[in-house]
């Protein structure tokens, strides 16, 4: 009996298959590449200065920013999988194409809380002089951030769907 069949109907970290977790990681990596390309074009200071500063690196350090940005994307992709695996209605929705896109959009909006709430506090704690105010609700910047996070999260949802969804 396959792992997929053996764990049908069960949820949790223990019962989330490596295939599903890998789908989240791959989707997160791909989504981070897309988002990072937009970020480098629209707000290069975040990749060059902000993200490196979160980890104690003085910028400009574009390579360091990209590396940590990709790491964040992989981790958040795995968090998406753990979330949809543990909430039955989300699991069913994520396994349909339209649902996967919709959940990707929703997850993108939710992850916008990171640059709005978490990043300003983290950068201030690290003593970064360029830390944005808390909360970072500048318009149009927050809307641009939300759009970039949606560009990140839709590939996460689609990759999970491809690994688990009704592809008939």
Residues 104-163 pLDDT 10s: 999 999 999 999 999 999 999 999 998 999 999 989 989 999 999 999 999 999 999 999
Dmax over Cα atoms in the chain, in whole Å?
Answer: 57
Rounded to an integer, what distance in angstroms lies between the CA atom of residue 160 and that of residue 168?
15
Please check whether residue 117 is in contact with residue 135, taking contact to mean a CB–CB distance below 8 angstroms: yes
Alpha helices, DSSP H, located in 43-96:
44-45, 51-54, 62-86, 88-94
56 Rama class: left (phi>0) / alpha (psi -120 to 50) / beta: left
Rounded to two decimals, the pTM is 0.87
pLDDT tens digit sequence for 139-155? 998 999 999 999 999 99
Please give the DSSP secondary-structure letter assigned to residue 59: S
CA distances from 5 to 43, 87, 89, 164 (A): 45, 18, 19, 12
């Amino acid at each position: 009996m396959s792992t997929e069949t053996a764990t049908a109907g069960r949820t949790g970290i223990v019962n989330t298959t490596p295939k599903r977790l890998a789908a989240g990681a791959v989707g997160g990596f791909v989504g981070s590449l897309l988002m990072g390309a937009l970020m480098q074009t629209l707000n290069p200071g975040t990749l060059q200065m902000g993200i490196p500063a979160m980890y104690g690196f003085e910028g400009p350090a574009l390579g360091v920013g990209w590396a940590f940005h990709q790491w964040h994307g992989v981790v958040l992709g795995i968090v998406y999988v753990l979330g949809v695996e543990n909430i039955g209605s989300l699991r069913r929705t994520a396994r349909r194409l339209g649902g996967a896109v919709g959940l990707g959009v929703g997850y993108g909006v939710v992850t916008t809380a990171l640059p709005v709430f978490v990043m300003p506090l983290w950068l201030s704690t690290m003593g970064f002089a360029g830390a944005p105010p808390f909360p970072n609700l500048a318009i149009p910047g927050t809307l641009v951030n939300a759009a970039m996070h949606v560009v990140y999260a839709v590939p996460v949802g689609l990759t999970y769907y491809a690994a688990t969804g009704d592809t008939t």
